[in-house]
Amino acid sequence: MGRFRVRVTATIGIAVAAVAIGAAPGWAGTRTEPGDEASAAAAVVVRAAQADDLGAEAAARVAAMTVREQAASVVMGHVSTTDAATLADYMTQTGIGGFILMGENIPSDETGLRALTAALTPDAAFPPLIAVDQEGGDVSRLGWDALPAAGTLKNEPPAATQDAFAGRGALVQRSGIGVNFGIVADVTDDPSSFIYGRALGTTPQGGADRVSAAVAGEGDQVLSTLKHFPGHGAAAGDSHTVIPATGMTQQEWVVSAAVPFQAGIDAGAPLLMFGHLAYTAVDPAPASLSAVWHRIAREDLGFEGVSITDDLGMLEASGDPAYADPVANAVSAIAAGNDMVLAVIYTTAETAPRMVDGIVAAVESGAIPGDRLEEAATRVAALRLALAAGGRGLMPCAACAPVG
């Protein structure tokens, strides 16, 4: 499968490396018929799509969508099954832009998982963002990943992290998965913290060194994601059951919890996951629903990629009545600046469609400006087109040669 590197900006610029693949949108070339392999080397050329070409295609696709199609494209859903037909039907009927694989979606081997991810991809020219939490160690969906994880890596040189995530990225890619929610940029030296065993560093600089190494390791194999912005280490409590809070000021954050995120952004991570935690001195709202934190990520840290929420079901699980409505949470998240909303806990096959309905209604009422939804949908479309240009979902073209 082709290797690629993406960088999504406000103008949706994408850089894609030349690869040897079969026909994909935005790629120029010719193919030989069976039996013509002898002249293939001379007859076949493949040129990488230009950044402007893919950016223009993303914008054009979104402009041609209805509001409902745009709303569906910014939802990453989930249903608990390994039945390929059920998953294929779910993706086709909902039209959603992504799917997260949890443990109950993972077959016993890589071959079975490839068949499942193929079923989740109704259109290889515009594949959904199929994601997985493959951190390794405590959070590992792929049972055959025996590579070192944070518990070990935080005590090893950064090069060990790069090597481990190079291998991990290959495992994820070979399974047909385009996005790894695998790089924990939170930092803490407190062993009692729920995130301690998953964090790549116990100091800001140690975390930064290993986070940037992890992004480099995953490289072009998979779309790296940094989580959980702006950082769980400073806020006590597990966001699966409460909304952790801290009184840390933004000035204190800049020289501590922010450092690993800045390093990962500078290293080119194309996705940033916003956590359900509150830095009350900055904004009393959870970061996932905070326009302030989205502005900080974009303007202060220079993040230009796709922002996505952590599982919105966690807000419901907190028990706070303000977050009891999953549809309202999705609407608030998009309005705040997220480009994609993620839903796992408490979800059924009807959850994603209900969120789509809610986002459409919010656009029609003005609660979400139409250009905010279009911006989000275009950023997501750009990543999906980058996956297509990288050959995701396509049969390899043995006769194709890259053009230098």
- Catalytic residue numbers read 240, 310
For residue 232, whether the previous peptide bond is cis, meaning omega lies within 30 degrees of 0, is no
H-type helices in 157-307, by residue range?
158-174, 204-218, 250-254, 258-266, 291-295
H-type helices in 200-325, by residue range?
204-218, 250-254, 258-266, 291-295, 313-317
Q: Hey, how many other C-beta atoms are within 10 angstroms of the C-beta on 52?
A: 12
- Inter-residue contact 107 to 120 (CB < 8 Å): no
Cα separation, 178 vs 117, whole angstroms = 10
CA dihedral 96, 98, 102, 104 (to 10 degrees): 40
Note the Cα 183 to chain centre separation in Å: 11
Cα separation, 90 vs 97, whole angstroms = 12
Cα separation, 333 vs 342, whole angstroms = 10
CA 374 → CA 10, 236, 297, 311, distances in Å? 12, 36, 19, 22
Instruction: Write out the E strands in 34-82.
Output: 75-77
- Inter-residue contact 311 to 278 (CB < 8 Å): no
Cα separation, 62 vs 11, whole angstroms = 13
